[in-house]
Structure 1
Amino acid sequence: MVVATNNKQQRTKDKGQRTKDKQQTTNNKGQRTKDKGQTTNNKGQRTKDKGQTTNN
């Protein structure tokens, strides 16, 4: 019966490693904000195409 109590202590160590995996997901969200900044530059090029139609 004493051996069964030792197995319960090993399960608590596995829960500590799961918290480290949650910290890596927060870094991926930071890269998504950089992709939104590139879409604003594409809208600026469309205004230059409208300026050429006035020359025709």
Structure 2
Amino acid sequence: MLTHWLIVEADLHSEYGIDVDNRGLMRRRSWRWLEARILGLLSADTRLHRALAPPPSTTPG
């Protein structure tokens, strides 16, 4: 997941309006809060979802 952090950060902003550079916000929130949102990114059509679960190839065979 950390290898995809730039994608996570972009998706958190585009999907939830969360700016992870807002240290005040991030300190007020729990790891559980962040985990729930990241898991939400995996269940939606997001960059993170596409990076970790790309669609099956459609090569003729």
Q: Which has the higher helix share?
A: 1
Do these two structures clear the TM 0.5 threshold for a shared fold by scoring above it? no
Larger relative contact order, structure 1 or 2 (CA cutoff 8 Å, min sep 6): 2
Q: What is the TM-score with the length of structure 1 in the denominator?
A: 0.30
Q: What is the TM-score with the length of structure 2 in the denominator?
A: 0.28
Which is greater in Rg? 1
